Amino acid sequence: MNPQTVSIISTLLNLGLGISKLIFGFLIGSVALIADGIHSGVDVFSSFITFLGLKTARKPVDREHPYGHYRAESLAGFLVAILLAISGIWILYEAFERFFGGGVVRLSLGAILVVIISIAVTEFLARLKFYYGRKHKALSLVADAEHSRADALSSVGVLGGLFLIRYFSFADAIVALGIGGYILFEAFRIGKEITDSLLDVADKDIEERIRKICRAHQVEISDLKTRKIGAYNFAEIKIKLPPKLKVGKVQKITETLEERLLKNITELKQIVISIEAYDMARTVVLPKLGKRIGELEGFEQIGPKKVGQRIIIPLVGKEIEKGINKIFGAEWYLIIDSKNKEISRKKVLKNPYFEKDSPKGARFAKAVRADKVLTQNIGPNAQQSLENFGIEVEIIPENKKLKDILKEYENSPSNQWR
């Protein structure tokens, strides 16, 4: 049975109960029974609202609602809470009227039978709604279940009042006061829970379960945010991974983590996982066409602050006289900053990431914020990686000398090594 079917059954049963209570309430003059009948009548309306909210919340994602229609369920629950509050206030008003206005209650066997049947039916409906509401994480159905439970308890109070009215004339009004006060309390409690859902309050239980799964997979979380929309939860997770991991390995880790989280936490509807590498600073990736594609976790910045355009050239050794290294991945690089066709800085800088079997030339270029790379040879992966970061790669002839390259930029006599 789905939540929508439960709402339809509840609507029909409450309609019959509400009409019966109102008829006998007016016949015997019991304000408590009339109040209970109104409460059942409000149940009819709230069950119908719940049905509409559940139906709307299940609509698929469309262009105008990219995050779905899940809030419709919360809005339906909020309306149910408002109806609860209104009915509670009205019952309190009628109870005070009975205190000050008097009135005679005529005990009736038919009225007693209606109340007993009402207690049994509404308690059955409350348990049915609680079961399927919690099973399907339907917040509005759980709110409606609270409404039915309040109705059942109020009917118990009415039954007691009908027996006590012989000995205490204000018993009917006192029962009505108790019913009204209880309904207002439930309206406030349910309203707060649903308001939290509408305001995207974090779900601490979900967050703890996410952290537990990440710890099991040895993934460190640096930031975690959750929010509840209707019956579902959305999570944004930032995890730390070592910068030496290859892209394929990183992708595998994130895909596995996402799969495990969605499989083990059924309340999660969507997860956004971003990567934060150790010892890495935030930067902006600008691809070749110059269009901003978003902020990513980029490489740390090393070397002197860039002045103008920065060009780097791999060197054979620390001394520039040894010339250009035939391989892009080198231990030493010449950095040239030029502005307005004039060299503002020339500096030989050691590559701190250099390893014999893994020279890390592309990483060095990103870390020094290079705009252009001049090299005789470069691997296709390294070249693609640089171009993805907006770094231009120029292949220079093997017979071209470093002094010839410098002459193209040295148009100012004031240039010097810095």
Alpha carbon distances (Å) from 155 to 123, 124, 129, 189:
10, 13, 18, 21
What is the rounded CA–CA span in Å between residue 110 and residue 237? 61
Residue ranges, CATH 3.30.420.130, the chain: 309-409
- Kindly state the DSSP code that residue 170 receives in the 8-state scheme: T
Mean pLDDT of 21-43: 73
What does the CA dihedral 393, 399, 403, 407 come to, rounded to 10 degrees?
A: -70
Cβ–Cβ < 8 Å for 241, 277: yes
Q: What CATH number is given for 309-409 in this structure?
A: 3.30.420.130
Q: How confident is the model at residue 267 (pLDDT cuts 50, 70, 90)?
A: confident
Q: How confident is the model at residue 298 (pLDDT cuts 50, 70, 90)?
A: very low
pLDDT at 299: 46
Helix-strand-coil percent breakdown of the chain, rounded to 5? 55, 15, 30
CA angle 272, 276, 277 (to 5 degrees): 145
Residues 6+ apart with CB under 8 A from 224: 207, 210, 211, 235, 236, 237, 238
Which tokens is 332 given?
């030493």
pLDDT at 28: 74
What DSSP letter does each residue of 331-371 carry, written as one string?
SEEEEEEEETTEEEEEEEEE-TT--SS---HHHHHHHTT-S
| 170 pLDDT above the threshold of 80 | no
Beta strand pairing call for 232-241 and 268-277: parallel
144, 148, 152: which is closest to 115 by C-alpha? Answer: 152
Mean pLDDT of 48-72: 69
Architecture of the domain made up of 204-277: 2-Layer Sandwich (3.30)
Residue ranges, CATH 3.30.70.1350, the chain: 204-277
| 192-220 residue pLDDT tens | 777 766 776 677 888 899 999 988 888 88
Residues 6+ apart with CB under 8 A from 103: 29, 31
| 374 pLDDT above the threshold of 90 | yes
Residue ranges, CATH 1.20.1510.10, the chain: 3-198
Q: Which amino acid is at 282?
A: R
| Burial bucket for residue 368 (CB in 10 Å: 0-12, 13-18, 19+) | buried
Q: At what angle do helices 247-264 and 204-216 cross, to 10 degrees?
A: 130
In this structure, the number of other CB atoms found within 10 A of the CB of residue 135 comes to 12
CATH class, range 3-198: mainly alpha
* 30 against 126, higher pLDDT: 126
Q: Which residues pair with 345 in a beta bridge?
A: 337
Alpha carbon distances (Å) from 303 to 236, 280, 319, 349, 351:
34, 15, 18, 7, 10
Length, in residues, of the chain = 418
CA angle 193, 1, 135 (to 5 degrees): 35
How many whole angstroms from its chain centre is CA 268? 9
Mean pLDDT of 252-258: 85
At 88, give phi and psi (nearest 5°): -65, -45
Residues 6+ apart with CB under 8 A from 357: none
51, 50, 58, 3: which is closest to 232 by C-alpha? Answer: 58
Cβ–Cβ < 8 Å for 347, 318: no
Question: Among all chains, which residue has been given the structure tokens 């005990």?
Answer: 107
Q: How confident is the model at residue 17 (pLDDT cuts 50, 70, 90)?
A: confident
Alpha carbon distances (Å) from 161 to 153, 184, 287:
12, 20, 78
* 318 against 157, higher pLDDT: 318
| 295 pLDDT above the threshold of 60 | no
| 107-141 residue pLDDT tens | 667 777 877 888 888 889 889 888 887 787 676 67
In this structure, the number of other CB atoms found within 10 A of the CB of residue 305 comes to 8
Alpha carbon distances (Å) from 4 to 47, 141, 157:
9, 9, 30
* 265 against 66, higher pLDDT: 265
Mean pLDDT of 333-359: 83
pLDDT at 348: 92
Q: How confident is the model at residue 333 (pLDDT cuts 50, 70, 90)?
A: very high
Minimum mean pLDDT range among 67-71, 328-332, 375-379: 67-71
Q: How confident is the model at residue 284 (pLDDT cuts 50, 70, 90)?
A: very low
pLDDT at 282: 38
